[in-house]
Amino acid sequence: KQEVTQIPAALSVPEGENLVLNCSFTDSAIYNLQWFRQDPGKGLTSLLLIQSSQREQTSGRLNASLDKSSGRSTLYIAASQPGDSATYLCAVERSGNTPLVFGKGTRPSVIA
């Protein structure tokens, strides 16, 4: 059974520092991995999707890497801003059109 872990659950960084968020999964046979952002009391917003054949994806200040063999993905947010404070969840898909398995998320606080 696939398990997704995100450690730590929360962290604080000063504004301007790069954020590094970790995600690990137990079964390396994945179809894709997605990163989501969730603001308090809201739904999830898709940030990046990495196919199993890819090693990274970039969108603006966000960069996500994928190392299937070690069961890890990392989301980097460059030059963090207070508006980046939210919960970031990663999720993996085992094969096409199968439901995602989510981690519990990491909640960074960016302090001005």
What are the residues binding other proteins (CB under 8 A)? 4, 9, 31-32, 34, 36, 41-46, 49, 89, 93, 96-97, 99-100, 102-105
**With respect to other proteins, which residue has the nearer C-beta, 18 or 45?**
45
CB of 78 vs other proteins, minimal distance in Å: 23
CB of 62 to other proteins, least distance (A): 15
The one-letter amino acid code at 87 reads: T
To other proteins, the closest distance from the beta carbon of 104 in angstroms equals 5
Q: What is the 3-state secondary structure (H, E, C) of 12-36?
A: EEECCCCEEEEEEECCCCCCEEEEE
Closer by beta carbon to other proteins, 52 or else 74: 52
